Amino acid sequence: MAELNLKKTVLEQKEKFVDFLSLMVKTDTQVKGQGILGGNERFGQKMVKQKLLDLNFDVDEFDVEDDKIKKFPGANLGHQNENRPNVVGVLKGSGGGRSLILNGHIDTMPYGDKSQWSKDPFLGEIVDDEIYGLGATDMKGSLSAMILAAEVIKISGLRLKGDLIIQSIVDEEGGGNGTMACVERGYRADGAIVGEPTQLHLQTAHMGFLFHDIKVTGESLHSSQLWEGVNAIDKALIIYRALKNLERRWLMTRRHPLLPGPTINLGVIEGGVAGSVVPNSCTMKFCLHYHPEKNESKEVTRDRVKGEVNEAVKLATDSDPWLKKNPPQVNIYQEGFPFETELSHPLVQEMKQTLNKVIDRAVIEGMPAGCDARTLSEFGQTPAIILGCGNPQHCHCVNESVPVHQFLSLIEIYANFIVTWCGIESAVK
């Protein structure tokens, strides 16, 4: 009976729930310089905090602190953290049930060139079953659904046995510092859901990633006598070709049932000052993605991948007299471990059952990027899955939107799963 009422409650509250998401989208929570220069998350967090208080959550509000998260591999230190609080709500259960973390980030990337948007990115308008606006998909739709699922539980008069913890996270777009701060603060649970957009598909694994900065030097002079100089861009491309060869070898030898093959992307190349000058420096920035491995720790996997990259760079360097004498500087400036939860885990199996019940299908896949599931799982000892509304291809792009019907279905999915996972003591009279 309780489960049947959850769908009924979502439908009855549809207009109110959509208005809540629309207001979230209208609220500017952009990061600045990928979090390095700060962010506007506080404006959205004020709204989240009040809603959680209205739902009888105990609310913990705290800033990220570098001194506390620096122990985590991949922590992105030196960001402007002041006045960018995490907001965590805890709804204590009566006891005897399993605890659950619902994790979603409030920050968005900047909207870019506003003239390319067909409507104002903060309008939050609904057109043909789509809510348009910055962050609608990434990931205010899922974060709102998490909070509103708790409201469905309250309206339905249900009391949970296990604790329900909702984490509204800052600085995810800057590398995940907000969730690291939650883990450092001691938040743990028997399971967690990260609400990145998955189109209601269940994701149980994601790629690890390493960002490399490679600097190559040369000798500059006028291009009319280029043979007397050393073109740093030409030398950098020797290293680039070596890394693409490594990528090809990975694609032929590395497989994962849920994830695409490993990749190495050259995202930035900078060098030179003019067409008439032989460039004396060149910087390349790469992002590579790699698989989790079942039979080794995340640290071992990461170190093995780092070693293979360093070996490829060394072989390229040793093959060229200039590079061998003037070796490039190789630096990792951002990283994240891969993540995987076994398909047999109760968290996966029970969510699969919930999806089959609510939307009559359960698609299980992996995420080709990375997210905060890795932090909850690896450092927080909390098994995690990824499930949210919206198409991930709509992230970080103009005219971002999320389907209303997916958003409402997600509220129902989350509410049903909370009831199943945490358990119900009794109806509140």
- CA dist 376 and 187 (Å) reads 9
> Which pair of tokens denotes residue 201?
């598909």
Task: Please state, in angstroms and rounded to a whole number, the distance separating the CA atoms of residues 37 and 31.
Answer: 8
User: What token pair was written down for 248?
Assistant: 């090809």
Active site residue 190: no
DSSP secondary structure of 258-293: SS---EEEEEEEEE-S-TTB--SEEEEEEEEEE---
Helix (H) or strand (E) holding 285: strand 281-290
Active-site pick, 41, 60, 163, 172:
172
Among 107, 130, 378, 412, the active-site one is 107
CA 86 from centroid of its chain's CA atoms: 15
Separation between Cα atoms, residue 198 and residue 208, nearest integer Å = 18
30 φψ region: left (φ > 0), alpha (ψ -120 to 50), beta (else): beta
DSSP strand pairing (164-169 vs 100-105): parallel
**67 flagged as catalytic:** no
Q: Following DSSP, what letter does each residue of 336-365 receive, concatenated?
A: E--EE--TTSHHHHHHHHHHHHHTS---EE
Active-site amino acid positions: 107, 172
